[in-house]
Structure 1
Amino acid sequence: MAPNARFTELTQPPDDDEVRRRWREFYREVRAASSTPLARVLGPLLGDDTRRRQLFNQVRPPQSPSTTSTFWIGDEAEFPAGYLPSALRGEPLAPEDVIIVPVSPNASPADLVEALEGALTLPSTWLLIVDATREWREHHAVARRLLECGAGADVVFADETGPSPRRPRLKPDEIGPHTLWSYNVVGRPALLRRSLVSQVGGPRLEAGAALEHDLYLRLLETGAQFRHVATVLPGRPAREDPLLAADSQRVVRAALTRRSLGAEVSAGPLDSLVTWRLSPRNEPLVDIVIPTRDRLDLLQRCLDSLTTLTRYPHYRVIICDNDSVEPATLDYLSQTPHLVVRCPGPFNYAAIVNRGVRSGVGDYVVTLNNDTVITQADWLDQMLGVAQLDDVAIVGCTLVGENAAHDHDGIALAPYPQHLRLGVNYPVRDEFILARRDVAAVTGAVQLFSRDTFESLGGMDESLAVVMNDIDFCLRAQHDGRYVVVLSDVMITHHASASRGRLDPLDDRNQFVRRWGVFHELRDPFFPPTMRLAGARIVARTLAD
């Protein structure tokens, strides 16, 4: 295992019986959370055979429209029950352990700076900024709960109460730097190691309402260790400062400048969100690899949208033809100006992509399904600008269907790899889902990576012929501590599985489960650990799970 590896392949994978047991438990949970009464009755009879389940899906009654419409998205949407604030109790802490800094919701940035600077002069290990309108015994209880997890950490933060009991701010275990550029994911409550706060220069008045966000950015840049406590505790006041949007942009712009990145920084879809954009440097050649087999209607639509709308000029299309036989397709491929690479044999997505990539010479590569449609002129500029960061391995984007329903907002391992889908299995339109952010994986339908990354990994694993190869590629790409980033504001239309059809071999999925320890050992550091995806539903989970 590499010292910075985020995910680890198992040296002793589970045997077949254990894999089947894990599948049964997962299907049981999905049926309980997401299925109709008919599916809950027939589900156990289907077992873990993917083909039988596909046949059942063809004949079962249609689902309620509300499960896929945008009705669930908005200010009133909520998470399921189960995220209740933790009971707070305990004796007061000694000031040499934690200095509690109470701040009124109406306090100015100058007031907070003055309070923190005073606290930094005291001989304490930790600082804790709290809402002055709450009781002191609650402050001490919060500090005590965080302090329990403080060993070896510099910042200890927890989930926090939100605008309603069923809309808490749930946070991931790992603070990805690109997520923190998008919003203050740490928030409150957060214990801060006093000595390190002093080391990075303390609070800065010029950060204004985003003072704490600015402090977290500078702490992360210095290598501070962040520790997440997956418990809902009292946090920030409900009222946001009207200057938060402008001040957040200012501190993110400063963070990007410290990395010598000339980024465009603007307001995001929420006041607390920042959108940052990076232009490509040196305009390298990008190979766009498109696997296809017949389905000329899909391929032409994809290529027409690509060549008509794409603003970035330095790209080359590589069409990977997997034994097309229809005369119209063969005629088109014989006349196209794009490079056509023959990929004969049974469908093996990983092998087809590998052959296509190795037929090119571009410094960067995009894998693009033939059932996608480009709708945004700067899609390639935006993805390439992020992929050129030295701490980024792979970049993905948001995919939507023809009806604008979200098909992909990144992939979460919770516990099985599934597409996050705003308004479908993720009901709340919040900072997390709307941010450009670090994720465990992105779909191979649209992935951008450097040729160096591809070669260092030996390409995609061809033993995963149809599915899971793209996710496996993402997990392996993080072996050196680099990140996979999804760009929520870059959108491409995707007619999911229109090209692959019903191919979905269980062998691929079982191999992936064994390799990475899915359902048990594999954890997603970028998805809140208190969330679990069960089909089209999020269910609350406890740490005991």
Structure 2
Amino acid sequence: MGENNFFKKLAYLYKTSVEIIQEYGFLYFLRFGSSQVKQQKLDILRPKDNYEKLTIKKPLDKKTQYKIWKAKQEEQSISPQLSTHDNPLSVVLIIRKKSKTLVKCIEAVLTQSFSKFELVIVTDDQNTFETIKELINTKTINDISINLKFLNPNEDFLFSELLELTSGDTVGFLDETVFLKKNCFNQIINESLENPTSDLFYSDEEILYKNDEVPFFKPDWSPYLSLFRNYMGNLFFVKRSLLMKIEYNESFHGENFLWFLYQSYENAEKIFHIRSILYSSEENKSVELRKIIPKILEIRNLNSSIQQSSKNDHYEINFRLDKQPKVSIIIPTKDNGFLLRKCLRSIEYNTDYENYEIIIIDNNSIKTETKQFLKSLPYKVISYDDNFNFSKMNNVAFSHSSGEYLLFLNDDTEALMPQWLNEMVSVCQQKDVGAVGAKLIYRTNKIQHAGMVFLKNGFFFHPFDHESFQSDTQFDFINLMRECSSVTGACLLTKREIFENISGFDEQFDVFYGDSDLCFKIRELGFKIIYTPQAILRHDGSTKIRQAVRLFIPVENHDSFVKKWSVVKYGDPFYNPNLGWNYSINIEDSENQN
């Protein structure tokens, strides 16, 4: 009887495992399975009377997740000990337009738990000026020093004048759309003291949208993402030392607020992301950012042009190609003639880029039709007779290449737009970029790849998997160029010089983690990994890898990666630690994680 129960338990575990893999994917299964083994140890194999207790709970919707997260944060919002530093904070409130929420904004400033600060309020509207004066007169204000500055219609308010009105070591800037959490200034002061080398600070925020509260758990500083979205928001804090370096000659008023914010970004030596929600705000549109992008591109010396997108408030930035450097397109394959033929045909007929070579590395194909097809090709075909090893195959093919740029491409991909390679090369040509990944979609027009994310346990996953390829979920990140920690090797472009400097792919990662390890090595050199949504290809989903891993569990690759890159324990800098699997909210461990 005991033996029957044991095998019954094994059958149940197998069935549950298959269901998890089908529903959530293999890497989620590994993550979930390892946590269960850690919790239950050998008890996980012990027979039980009621197997229904082992079922997977249905995930909570994001609104419910956020309510739970927010409640836990409020329980933990005991203020840390404050600095005794004299007058460490000045705050500048720029009134950019008349707003029904102005009173709420000012009241949130005046009721901070930390109350020893200077407040400068700037407005060019007479009625607003009078409203603010009346509001202030009704408040009991002890330690707050308030300076209300009214600008006449043609009056310039120079940046130098603003500096004279403030004396704090840290100066905060906000507009009337921002509603501070009660402990905001308290946390800012402590973060600035704990991070003395940082000179600009921003935090996560809660966006008020259609009578709903939507958390925006942000990535760390990404200059490329900032070209498409002011994701830092309209609240930021600057060390006085940084303000003294900024050459800002324009009048400091509402219309120039965003331009000043970006000037601060460009001059900052180290930008610190406070991974906690310190304020609420009204929805932030990209229309206003569009007005100043040309000046930002000029400051950054980015040779580019701006093009309006098909979406009303969106735009695209096209980096110019002064020439067409040679690209070596490296494609591993094995008995995959049907898909390889479609892949090659899409390159031949749907690629405007002209200066490329194609190198196919064949992993000992045995089908007669595949061998005949490979012989018929006008491209270089390299034979590789060892066991499947993604990293080694690409390294071997690289040794036969001559391109200034290297594109590692799966044989089950198809180019869907003529400009795809122009886009990838133009982005990769930027001096600070080391690798570029594309938007990959399934045949159902759902997302297969839009950048990769790693968790603190070292597991990687593709966010937005099976979302519509034009979905605006999670603040439209699917459709915005941004920095990532890693992009998939199914379509990865890098520079030959960089690939040689890092000695190519690490061949210990035979099936999994080879692409992520490559990206980590590139980032270690100081280069950025960029995802661009303007290069779109179809990807059937690593056909060869699926075949190679039928009897393979990637635990060994995972363990090797975690040992090699201990930095993963700190989390992905471009994926907020308040988030769990695929942009769910981490309610299991919602303590402040700075």
TM-score range, shorter chain: 0.7 to 0.9
Q: 1:140 to 1:81 in 2, by over 3 A?
A: closer
Contact 1:438/1:485 (<8 A) preserved = yes
| Matched residue type, 1:217 | Y
For residue 206 of structure 2, what is the aligned residue in structure 1? 161
In 2, are the aligned partners of 1:439 and 1:526 still within 8 Å (CA)? yes
Q: Which residue is equivalent to 2:389?
A: 348
Correspondence 1:526 to 2:574: yes
| Secondary structure in 2 matching 1:448 | strand
Match of 1:329 among 351, 360, 370: 370
Is structure 2 residue 222 aligned with structure 1 residue 180?
no
2:559 paired with 1:510: yes
Counterpart residue number, 1:440: 485
| 1:311 counterpart residue number | 352
Determine which structure has more spread, i.e. the larger CA radius of gyration.
Answer: 2
- Is contact 2:472-2:478 (8 Å) kept? no
Give 1:92-103 correspondences, 5 Å limit: 96-103=87-94
Give the C-alpha shift of residue 166 in structure 1: 5.0
* 1:17 equivalent in structure 2: none
Q: Partners of 1:274 and 1:143 in 2: how far apart? A: 35
* Counterparts in 2 of 1:44 and 1:200: CA distance versus 1, 3 Å: closer
Aligned counterpart, 1:396: 437
Identity %: 22
CA contact (8 A) 1:181 1:274 kept: no
Aligned equivalent of 1:370: 411
CA–CA distance in structure 1, aligned partners of residues 390 and 492 of structure 2:
14
The 2-side partners of 1:458 and 1:382 are apart by 26
Change (3 A) 1:320 1:92: closer
| 1:199 matched to 2:245 | yes
- 2:460: which partner in 1? 417
CA distance in 2, matches of 1:279, 1:77: 42
2:172 aligned partner: 128
**Distance (Å, rounded) in 2 between the aligned partners of 1:271 and 1:162:** 21
Deviation of 1:406 (Å):
0.8
Shift of 1:499: 2.4
For the structure 1 residues 256 and 440, does the alpha-carbon distance in structure 2 shift closer, same or farther, using more than 3 Å as the test? same
Q: Does 1:170 align with 2:170?
A: no
Select the structure with the greater relative contact order (CA < 8 A; seq sep ≥ 6): 1
Q: Distance between the aligned counterparts of 2:83 and 2:565, measured in 1?
A: 44
Describe the superposition over 1:259-291 as per-residue Cα deviations: whole angstroms up to 9, x where unpaired: 332212234677776532212232110000000
Gaps of 5+ in 1: 1-26, 49-63
What amino acid is the match of 1:417? F
- What residue number does 1:542 align with? 590
Going from structure 1 to structure 2, the CA distance change for 1:422 and 1:495 (only over 3 Å counts) comes to closer
- Work out the number of aligned pairs and report it: 480
Give the letter aligned to residue 167 of structure 1: V
| Cα distance change of structure 1 residues 81 and 447 upon mapping to structure 2, 3 Å threshold | farther
Q: Tell me: CA distance 1:181–1:208, structure 2 relative to 1, closer, same or farther (3 Å).
A: farther
From the superposition, tell whether residues 239 and 405 of structure 1 become closer, same or farther in structure 2 (CA, over 3 Å): closer
Relative to structure 1, the CA distance from residue 464 to residue 34 in structure 2 (aligned partners, 3 Å threshold; closer, same or farther) is closer
What TM-score, normalized by structure 2, do the two folds share?
0.72
Q: 1:131 to 1:278 in 2, by over 3 A?
A: closer
Q: 1:472 maps to what in 2?
A: 517
Q: Distance in 2 between matches of 1:271 and 1:263?
A: 21
Equivalent position amino acid for 1:419 in 2 = H
Cα displacement string for residues 293-339 of structure 1 (whole angstroms, at most 9, x for unaligned residues): 11111100111111100111111111111101111111111111111
* Residues 511 and 43 of structure 1: CA distance in aligned 2, closer, same or farther (over 3 Å): closer
Instruction: Determine helix, strand or coil for the equivalent of 1:490.
Output: strand
Contact residue 413 and residue 522 of structure 1 kept, 8 A: no
Choose from 165, 176, 191 the match for 1:149.
191
Q: What is the RMSD of the two structures over their aligned residues, measured on CA atoms?
A: 3.9
1:227 to 272, 275, 279: 272
**8 Å contact 1:101–1:116 — kept in the other structure?**
no
Q: Whole-Å Cα distance in 2 between the matches of residues 487 and 156 of structure 1?
A: 27
- Matches of 1:290 and 1:206 in 2, distance apart? 54
Check whether the contact 1:440–1:524 (CA below 8 A) recurs between aligned residues. Answer: yes
| 2:118 equivalent in structure 1 | none
Contact kept in structure 2, 1:183 and 1:272, CA below 8 Å: no
The secondary structure found in structure 2 opposite 1:124 is: coil
Deviation at 1:142, TM superposition (A): 1.8
1: distance between equivalents of 2:185 and 2:342?
A: 57
Distance in 1 (alpha carbons) for counterparts of 2:466 and 2:261:
30
Indicate how the Cα distance of structure 1 residues 134 and 395 shifts in structure 2: closer, same or farther if over 3 A, else same.
closer
5+ residue gaps, structure 2: 1-16, 39-55, 100-121, 125-150
Q: 1:395 to 1:134 in 2, by over 3 A?
A: closer
* Cα pair distance change 1:284/1:206, threshold 3 Å: farther
CA shift, 1:231, in A, is: 1.1
| 1:290–1:319 CA contact under 8 A, matched in 2 | yes
Of stretches 412-421 and 450-459 in structure 1, the one that deviates more from structure 2 is 412-421
Q: 1:427 to 1:219 in 2, by over 3 A?
A: closer
What is the letter of the counterpart of residue 525 of structure 1?
P
Deviations 1:40-99 (A, max 9, x none): 9x9589969xxxxxxxxxxxxxxx9x99xxxx9xxx989754442855787999994222
Q: Identify the range of structure 1 (346-355 vs 407-416) with the bigger mean alpha-carbon deviation.
A: 407-416
AA of the residue aligned to 1:539 = N
1:482 is the counterpart of 2:524? no
Q: Is the Cα contact below 8 Å between 1:127 and 1:193 reproduced in 2?
A: yes
CA contact (8 A) 1:101 1:115 kept: no
- Corresponding residue of 1:55: none
One of 196, 207, 211 as aligned partner of 2:257: 211
Cα shift at 1:191: 0.9
Q: Relative to 1, partners in 2 of residues 1:271 and 1:128: Cα closer, same or farther, differing over 3 Å?
A: farther
Q: 1:538/1:414 Cα in 2 relative to 1: closer, same or farther (>3 Å)? A: farther
Distance in 1 of aligned mates of 2:158 and 2:298: 28
